Structure 1
Amino acid sequence: MCSYSDSTSDLDEELPVFDFLQAGRRRASQSRVEASAAKGDAAAGGTGAADVLMISSDSDDCAPYVPLAQRLEQRRRKAISPSSSSSSSSYAAAGNGEDGERCPPSNLPRPNGPSGSDWLLGLRQARTASRGASPVRRKPAGRGQQKDKEERERQKAERKALAEAAKALRPEECIKRMVVAVDPALLQLEGGGVLLSSVQALGCSCAVEKQSVPRSVSWMRRAAGAQPGGGGGGVPEAHVVMQVTVDDFVTLVQGYVQEEGRVPCGSGPSLTSWVQEHQRRHPGKVLSLAVIDLESYFRSQKSQSQKRFREAVAGEELGGEGKAKRRRKNGGEEARPEVSQVEVEEAVVHLQLHTGVSVRFLLTWKDFSAHIAMTTKAVAEAPFKREREQTGFSFHLESEWAGGQRVDRGGRGLLQAWRRQIQQFNRVSPDMASAILVAYPSPQLLRKAYSHCKSDREKISLLSDLVVRRGEGVTSTARRVGPELSKRLFLLMNSCDPQQTLDSTV
Structure 2
Amino acid sequence: MGSYSDCTSDLDEELPVFDFLQPCRHLSQASQTTTQKPDLVNLEDSDAEHAVISSLKKESSDTSPAKGKPTKRMAEEIQASKEEALRRRQARRRQQQDREALRQEQERQKAEKKALAEATKALRPEECIKHMVVSVDPALLQLEGGGTLLASVQALGCSCCIEKQLIPRSVSWIRRAPCAQLHEGECVPEAHIVMQMTEEDFITLIHNYIQQERHGRSDCSPTLRSWVEEQQRRHPSKTLSLAVIELEKYFRLQKLHNQKRFREAVAGADVQGEKARKKRKHGGAEVLPEVSRVEVEEAVVHLQLYTGVSVHFLSTWKEFSDHITMTTKAVAEAPFKQEKEKTGFTFYLESEWAGGQRVDKAGKGLLQVWKRQIQQFNRVSPDMAAAILAAYPSPQLLKKAYSQCRSDGAKVSLLSDLLIRRGEGVTSTTRRVGPEFSKRLHLMMHSCDPELTLDSSL
Give the TM-score taking structure 1 as reference length. 0.67
Is residue 203 from structure 1 mapped to residue 169 from structure 2 by the alignment?
no
Contact 1:419/1:434, CA 8 A, preserved across alignment:
yes
Mapping 1:94-493, distance limit 5 Å = 142-227=96-181, 234-262=187-215, 267-312=220-265, 314-330=266-282, 335-397=287-349, 399-400=351-352, 403-493=355-445
Structure 1 position 273, deviation (Å): 0.8
Deviations 1:135-159 (A, max 9, x none): xxx9996333333322322222222
Unaligned runs of 5+ in 1: 1-137
What do residues 477-502 of structure 1 show as CA deviations (whole Å, max 9, x unaligned)? 32333333333323332332233322
- C-alpha distance in 1 between matches for 2:444 and 2:204: 58
Residues 1:255 and 1:332: Cα distance change in structure 2 (over 3 Å): closer
Q: Relative to structure 1, is the Cα distance of residues 333 and 293 closer, same or farther in structure 2, using a 3 angstrom cutoff?
A: closer
Distance (whole Å) between structure 2 residues aligned to residue 202 and residue 496 of structure 1: 61
Give the counterpart letter for 1:483 in structure 2: P
How far the C-alpha of 1:364 sits from its partner, in A, is 1.7
Q: Secondary structure at the match of 2:196?
A: strand
Q: Distance in 2 between matches of 1:293 and 1:399?
A: 40
Q: Cα deviation per residue 1:357-408 (whole Å; 9 max; x = unaligned)?
A: 1111222222211111111111111111122222332234552355522222
The change in CA–CA distance for 1:454 and 1:244 in structure 2 (over 3 A counts) is farther
Which structure 2 residues correspond to residues 58-97 of structure 1 after superposition, within 5 A? none
- Give yes or no for contact 1:291–1:361 (8 Å, CA) kept in 2: yes
Q: CA deviation at 1:332?
A: 9.6
Q: Does the residue aligned with 1:260 lie in a helix, a strand or coil?
A: helix
The 2-side partners of 1:427 and 1:385 are apart by: 30
- Whole-angstrom CA distance in 1 between matches of 2:284 and 2:96: 90
The AA in structure 2 aligned to 1:362 is: L
- Structure 1 residues 415-439: Cα deviation after superposition (integer angstroms, max 9, x where no partner): 2222222223333332222222222
SS at match of 1:354: helix
Distance in structure 2 (CA, Å) of the matches to 1:362 and 1:332 = 19
Q: What SS class does the counterpart of residue 347 from structure 2 fall into? A: coil
Show the counterpart of 1:56: none
The secondary structure found in structure 2 opposite 1:427 is: coil
Name the SS for the 1:449 alignment partner: helix
Residues of 2 paired with 1:465 and 1:180: CA distance? 63
Q: Could you list the per-position Cα deviations for residues 289-335 of structure 1 after superposition, in whole angstroms to 9, with x for gaps in the alignment?
A: 111222222222222223333333x3425345313313224499953
Number of aligned residues: 367
CA contact (8 A) 2:250 2:285 kept: no
Amino acid paired to 1:360: H
Alignment-mate amino acid for residue 316 of structure 2: T
- Quickly say closer, same or farther: Cα 1:447–1:342, change in 2 above 3 A: farther
Q: Are 2:254 and 2:286, in contact at CA under 8 Å, matched by a contact in 1?
A: no
Shift in Å at residue 263 of structure 1? 6.7
Which segment is superposed worse, 246-255 or 273-282? 246-255
Change (3 A) 1:152 1:267: closer
SS in 2 for 1:411: coil
Task: Give the distance between the partners of 1:494 and 1:317, measured in 2 at CA.
Answer: 87
2: CA distance, partners of 1:348 / 1:401: 38
CA distance in 1, matches of 2:148, 2:396: 64
Taking a change above 3 Å as real, the CA distance of residues 488 and 296 of structure 1, as seen in their structure-2 partners, is: farther
Aligned partner letter, 2:147: G
Q: Which is bigger in relative contact order (C-alpha 8 A, separation at least 6)?
A: 2
* Root-mean-square deviation over aligned CA pairs: 2.7
Equivalent residue, structure 2, for 1:78: none
Question: Do the aligned partners of 1:258 and 1:266 also contact (CA within 8 Å) in 2?
Answer: no
- Quick check: which has more Rg, 1 or 2? 1
Equivalent residue number for residue 9 of structure 1: none
Q: Contact 2:253/2:285 (CA < 8 Å) preserved in 1?
A: no
Distance verdict in 2 for CA 1:329–1:181, change over 3 Å: closer
How big is the shift at 1:278?
0.3
Contact 2:254 2:285 in 1 (8 A): no
Q: Which amino acid aligns with 2:246?
A: D
Go from structure 1 to structure 2 and tell me whether the alpha carbon gap of 1:378 and 1:333 turns closer, same or farther (over 3 Å shift): closer
Question: Are the counterparts in 1 of residues 209 and 223 from structure 2 also a CA contact under 8 Å?
Answer: yes
Secondary structure in 1 matching 2:351:
coil
Distance 1:425 1:288 in 2: 40
Once the 2 structures are TM-superposed, how far is the Cα of residue 206 of structure 1 from its aligned partner?
A: 0.8
Structure 2 CA distance for aligned equivalents of residues 486 and 402 of structure 1: 27
**Identity across aligned pairs (percent)?**
69
- 1:268 maps to amino acid: S
Change in CA separation of 1:427 and 1:249 when aligned onto 2, cut-off 3 Å: farther
Distance in structure 1 (CA, Å) of the matches to 2:186 and 2:271: 60
Contact between 1:463 and 1:482, CA under 8 Å: does it hold in 2? Answer: yes
Deviations 1:187-217 (A, max 9, x none): 1111112211221122110111110111111
Looking at secondary structure, tell me which structure has more helix per residue: 2
Moved more, 182-191 or 411-420: 411-420
